[in-house]
Structure 1
Amino acid sequence: MEVRTSTIDGVLVFVPTPHRDDRGFFTRTFDVAIGAAHGVDLGPEAQDSQSRSRLGTIRGMHGRRGRGEAKLVRVAHGAVQDVLVDARPGSPTFGTVATFRLDDADHHHLYVPPGLLHGFQALTDTADVCYRIDRPHAPGEDLAVAHDDPDLAISWPVPVTAISERDRTAGTWRDLVATLEGDRPLS
């Protein structure tokens, strides 16, 4: 398994090596030893989750207050445009937006360190996204920034077909930055 860095400090792209034959394929989706060698430790409270989205659906941009949330993200079926925004005050890549195509053909997956906003858009009729998160969900720590915030200027590749009410009414990047400067809720 190859591990690549990205334009956002601490974000890693894991590139598995699928073994293909006439039956299909087999691939390792994560290896604790390889992750540990690159500083990835999702800890004993890790939770696995999966979402299914239809073409054009946007989920995001989400983050967490407090110590943030580390996650490993991959696509089990279909394809998505995955988007990360560095919301860590003091980070050399603070405010940077990075996009990645994740799909069930290349099997790439992302390690997202704590303190980043995360979202994605489904690019296929259905897209199943799997997450391994380093700690249980705590709704009181949730953060959200609008997917169409003009300061972030995220370019979504297909028309938006569905978005939750929570995401539709999410706050602005400027408001989040003001909060971060005031009490530094993300680490």
Structure 2
Amino acid sequence: MNFIRLELPDVVLIEPKVFGDDRGFFYESFNRKVFAQGTGVDPDFVQDNHSRSSRGVLRGLHYQIQQTQGKLVRVVQGRVFDVAVDLRRSSPTFGQWTGMELSGENKRMLWVPPGFAHGFVTLSDTAEFLYKTTDYYAPAHERSIIWNDPRIGIHWPIDFEPVLAKKDAAGSLLRDAEVFP
């Protein structure tokens, strides 16, 4: 696997080694030892999630203020633009974001550590999104920052109004959000 530190150095792009021929392909999507060597993090994943979204659906920007979750995310079908936002007030990159396309074709994965909000928008007709988390889903601790917060300034590669869940449409602005120390 190839591990690439992004603009926000704690967020890591992972490019797996893919072995393919005319029959199809194989790749190792997670190996704890290799992941720890490449990221410097030895996660204890406790939950796997799978979502399917239609074109234009934007999910996020989500995080849990307690029972914080690190997420290893990937797309197995379709294309999304995936985003991580640093919500650690003590970080020199507080309020900054990084984003990239993840797809079933490029097979890239993104490590989004605890202390970051996460979201994505679906760019293809549908997308199937898989992710591992380092803590369990805790609805009482879930928070959402609005996708188009001008303070964060995410450059979503869309020319349409995204489809949002009610909780995402009601997300906080960063200036009003509960964030990490």
Instruction: Indicate the TM-score class for this superposition, using the shorter chain for normalisation.
Output: over 0.9
1:14-53 counterparts in 2 under 5 A? 14-37=14-37, 38-43=39-44, 46-53=46-53
1:128 matched to 2:133? The reply is: no
Measure how far apart 1:39 and its partner are.
2.2
Unaligned 5+ segments in structure 2 are none
1:57 matched to 2:57? The reply is: yes
Number of equivalent positions: 179
- Higher mean alpha-carbon deviation, 154-163 vs 128-137, is at 154-163
3-state DSSP class of the match of 2:140? Answer: helix
Deviations 1:60-108 (A, max 9, x none): 0011113521010000111100011100111121111111110111111
Instruction: Give the Cα–Cα distance (whole angstroms) in 2 for the partners of residues 81 and 160 of structure 1.
Output: 15
Match of 1:4 in 2: 4
Instruction: Give the Cα–Cα distance (whole angstroms) in 1 for the partners of residues 18 and 130 of structure 2.
Output: 18
Measure how far apart 1:21 and its partner are.
0.7
Length-normalised TM-score, structure 1: 0.91
Deviations 1:85-137 (A, max 9, x none): 10011112111111111011111101111000100000100101101001111
Measure how far apart 1:161 and its partner are.
4.2
Could you list the structure 1 runs, at least 4 aligned residues long, displaced by more than 2 angstroms after superposition.
38-42
Asked if structure 1 preserves the Cα contact closer than 8 Å seen for 2:67 and 2:141, the reply is no
Length-normalised TM-score, structure 2: 0.93
Match of 1:183 in 2: none
Asked if structure 1 preserves the Cα contact closer than 8 Å seen for 2:67 and 2:136, the reply is no
Match of 1:174 in 2: 175
Instruction: Give the Cα–Cα distance (whole angstroms) in 1 for the partners of residues 64 and 107 of structure 2.
Output: 26
Unaligned 5+ segments in structure 1 are 181-185
User: In structure 1, what residue type is equivalent to 2:171?
Assistant: A
Measure how far apart 1:14 and its partner are.
0.9
